[in-house]
A and B are shown apart, each in its own frame.
Chain A
Amino acid sequence: MPKFEVPRFTFWRGVLLVILALGTYSTVVRVFQGLAGSTNLSDSFPWGIWIGFDILCGVALAAGGFTISATVYIFNLEKFRPIVRPAILTAFLGYVLVIVALLYDLGRPWNVWHPLVMWNPHSVMFEVGWCVTLYTTVLALEFSPIVLERFKMTKTLHVMHFIMPLLVVLGVLLSTLHQSSLGSFYLIVPTKLHALWYSPLIPLYFFLTALTLGCAMTIVESFLSHRAFGKQLEMELLVPLGRVALLILALTSVIRFADFRHRGILGLPFQATYESRLWLAEMLIGVLAPGVLLAIPKVRKHTTGLFLAALLIVMGVVMNRLNVSITGMERSSGQIYVPAFTEIAVTLSVVGVGFLIFALAVKFLPVFPEHEMKEARPIVVPAGGNVSGQPIRSLPVPALVVVALAFFGAVALGADGVRRREVDPGPPAPSATKPELAAALASFTPPAEIVFPQAPDSPGPASFRHASHVDASAPDCLSCHGNTYSFLGRKEAPPAGQMHDTKHCGGCHDGTSAFAIEADCSPCHKAE
């Protein structure tokens, strides 16, 4: 680690410490006060940022794992091998942290294993549960050579190398499946998710954006590793990744245009609503700006330029996931959701722990294997040399303008959108007047007569007749029912001899509300 980086590092360590402290506090709140005390979730808004960010973004941000491992092992593009390990490590960390975050969100986290034994093949969540479990296992196995190497366990290492292609195919399949399935979650809510994000193609969008993100994350990560650990910046690998990302961005945009055209909502993004503004901001940050940057060869080959473009893609996908899970769901829920402080603290902690473990792994495990670097390649930026990459001011002017416009444009759109935030008015308000009941009262039938069992010393059989107790023109069931008297009939007859007490007839027949019981038996007891 270069010496001059220590102060910067200390600052970040301080930030991390503060975040983890707040996260620990929030964890205590979550455990002892439940979801009510630790979140702003409600019956009308049951999923917040713990799902929208920690799960949806967490899984997507780990997409570098399957993107890069497929590139190396399946497409046999050997030159990408040096970045396989950091990508796998990130993915593995990502998934472990997603599972940890899920435990915060689940109401009964101790039942998290249930989907493995209680099956529902019709459930997307069931499929995702299985895929995440299997893929985390596969990632652990894919990551194992790094640990085995560290501890010189060559025999096992050979076995691992032999089955690696199989693992990679399995991993690619599993991650492809559930990257798209996270989108499929929302297929079931056509009436709830806003039309800008709801689409029959949402699983495909989630998959394609995950692919783009896989490339972008690899670029961002290489850049950060280069900054933090003085690792070599493999520009000749990263530039093609940028090109692939551009290609998928373009493909996704064409599909999205066709989809909007097909559904007849091409004009929807340009309405003055909260959703439209945030959709435009998402497209500006995540598609248009990085698309333009990557399309300029000079920017693509510029370390800082490439990094900026990748960073924009990452931000765009994060915005997309939050828009799907929060922005797009608010109007129909009739509820504006703002995460609680504790929700944000836990989310930041999960990210912070990810950074921490990554840094530790790099320190103690051969994550950046030197011996896998084959013959010398042209090195754009030598390790430990100019670790900050090319300065941003050396970017072409149009690129700088695009970045600035995208940033300020998105902020302006977002701010305007939030100003317009509104929710469904809900059901029509009751009119001031009571409904006209004449027609309804025509079908009023007082319930049947209840004949009471006769006690041995009773002067004669007695019964309760609704007809003589209820005003049929304005029946008021709750004046007797709902507290003292059952609606659904007793399990057994009232005990003989207790009928006169206040729990039964005596409740009203006390001489004030109705005639007193003691005065005369004949009104109730019919002599035999």
Chain B
Amino acid sequence: MLKPQTKGLLLDTTRCIGCGACALACKERNKLPKTSDDVLKDELSDKTYSVVKQVGPRYVRRMCMHCVTPSCASACPVAALEKSAAGPVIYHESKCMGCRYCMIACPFGIPKYEWEKKAPLVRKCDLCADRLEKGLKTGCATACPTGATSFGDRDALIAEAKERFRANPGRYNEHIYGIEEVGGTSVLIISDGKAEELGYPAGLDGTAPAFLTWRVLNIIPDIVMTSAVLLGGIYWIRNRRDEVEAAEGSHHETPKEH
């Protein structure tokens, strides 16, 4: 269950002026090198955790959504990715063995890899986890001059989004992206356009993908115990038949195949 104090972001594309402050504040905070001359032409990579791009007639941010039940954290065999109590999905570098299953699992295609390095790591936004601990906002929310990116408790952000819908009738496509999608995300998006018009995956199920694998993994102990008894039983019966036959001195052919 989601703790009420879980932090998140509310992205409002109707307020975004495409200034790029969020993207460069992110670079500053994470000490990342410059990767593009035009901030709006930049792409997510191991050196860029957050971008803002023009998609159709509006500017849209792209970054880790910090899912409530993250697919990446569920997929990671060594628990290197973890949903922290504060909200961010954080990455424990020292645990990672580089299988990249998190990249496969993420429905938003967020985790990026240091392909060029000899000891590569996964790279993505961590919602400025260290700043949150100090009671600060994320870098991007600090830099945003229009409130297109607002930081706060997830519940409060949902309330704020609904308030904006109420106060500006007709301005929004009144759907908060991230309440239901993939079981909920800590980064919420409101816009005048639909998800697919923003380049975000549309029609995502309300079930977290992590649940799809967990449902199967969950029954494994039952399968193991049942099968063990079953196989042991078959072994016992098949071999006992031999013993009985040996005792009776009869020599049947090996039983017919199943």
Contact B14 A108 (CB under 8 A): no
Contact B99 A125 (CB under 8 A): yes
- B199 contacts which of A44, A427, A433, A440 (Cβ < 8 Å)? A427
Residues from chain A with Cβ under 8 Å of B103 in the complex:
43, 46
A side interface size, CB within 8 A: 88
Residues from chain A with Cβ under 8 Å of B180 in the complex:
none
Contact A478 B76 (CB under 8 A): no
Q: In the complex, A1 Cα to B142 Cα: how many Å?
A: 77
Contact A177 B220 (CB under 8 A): yes
Contact B145 A122 (CB under 8 A): no
Binds B, one of A165-173, A336-344, A379-387: A165-173
For window 464-480 of A, CB contacts with B under 8 Å fall at 475-478
Contact B210 A122 (CB under 8 A): yes
Contact B242 A426 (CB under 8 A): no
B side interface size, CB within 8 A: 93
Residues from chain B with Cβ under 8 Å of A77 in the complex:
254, 257
Q: Is A493 an interface residue (CB 8 A)?
A: no
Contact A482 B28 (CB under 8 A): yes
Contact A482 B24 (CB under 8 A): yes
For window 296-323 of A, CB contacts with B under 8 Å fall at none
User: Scoring A residues 89 to 133 as 1 if CB is less than 8 Å from chain B, else 0, what string do you get?
Assistant: 000000000000000011111011011001111111111110000
- B45 contacts which of A43, A75, A119, A176 (Cβ < 8 Å)? A43
Residues from chain A with Cβ under 8 Å of B139 in the complex:
487-488
Known contacts A44-B109, A185-B101, A435-B54; is A118 also within 8 Å of B212 by CB?
Answer: no
Contact A240 B24 (CB under 8 A): no
Contact B257 A107 (CB under 8 A): no
Q: In the complex, A128 Cα to B73 Cα: how many Å?
A: 16
User: Scoring A residues 324 to 359 as 1 if CB is less than 8 Å from chain B, else 0, what string do you get?
Assistant: 000001000100000000000000000000000000
Q: Which residue of A lies closest to B237 (CB)?
A: A76
Interface centre among B28, B74, B101, B241 (most CB of A within 10 A): B101
Q: Is A244 an interface residue (CB 8 A)?
A: yes
Contact B104 A445 (CB under 8 A): no
- B146 contacts which of A126, A434, A443 (Cβ < 8 Å)? A443
Binds A, one of B1-9, B111-119, B155-163: B111-119
For window 135-150 of A, CB contacts with B under 8 Å fall at none
Binds B, one of A33-41, A56-64, A254-262, A499-507: A33-41
Q: In the complex, A127 Cα to B15 Cα: how many Å?
A: 46
Known contacts A188-B213, A439-B14, A488-B142; is A177 also within 8 Å of B25 by CB?
Answer: no
Known contacts A43-B45, A481-B21; is A124 also within 8 Å of B75 by CB?
Answer: yes
Q: Is A498 an interface residue (CB 8 A)?
A: no
B235–chain A nearest beta-carbon distance, Å: 5
Interface centre among B142, B143, B239 (most CB of A within 10 A): B143
Q: Is B197 an interface residue (CB 8 A)?
A: yes
Residues from chain B with Cβ under 8 Å of A427 in the complex:
53, 55, 60, 198-199
Q: Is A378 an interface residue (CB 8 A)?
A: no
Q: In the complex, A447 Cα to B146 Cα: how many Å?
A: 10
Q: Which residue of A lies closest to B231 (CB)?
A: A169
- A189 contacts which of B77, B209, B228 (Cβ < 8 Å)? B209
- B213 contacts which of A79, A115, A184, A443 (Cβ < 8 Å)? A184
Q: In the complex, A181 Cα to B109 Cα: how many Å?
A: 23
Contact B145 A430 (CB under 8 A): no
Q: Is A154 an interface residue (CB 8 A)?
A: no
Residues from chain B with Cβ under 8 Å of A488 in the complex:
25, 28-29, 139, 142-143
Q: In the complex, A388 Cα to B46 Cα: how many Å?
A: 55
Contact A184 B217 (CB under 8 A): yes
Apart from A118-B78, A431-B54, 9 more pairs, CB < 8 Å: A73-B235, A120-B79, A169-B228, A173-B231, A184-B216, A188-B209, A191-B201, A435-B57, A487-B139
B residues with a Cβ closer than 8 A to A are 14-21, 24-25, 27-29, 39, 44-46, 53-60, 71, 73-80, 95-101, 103-105, 107, 109, 112-121, 139, 142-143, 145-148, 171, 197-199, 201, 204-205, 209-210, 212-214, 216-217, 220, 223-224, 227-228, 231-232, 234-235, 238-239, 241-242, 254, 257-258
Leading 9 A-B pairs by shortest Cβ distance? A107-B98, A427-B199, A76-B238, A487-B25, A111-B97, A125-B77, A482-B24, A430-B54, A126-B77
Can you list 5 A-B pairs, Cβ within 8 angstroms, ordered by A?
A114-B95, A114-B97, A191-B201, A477-B20, A482-B27
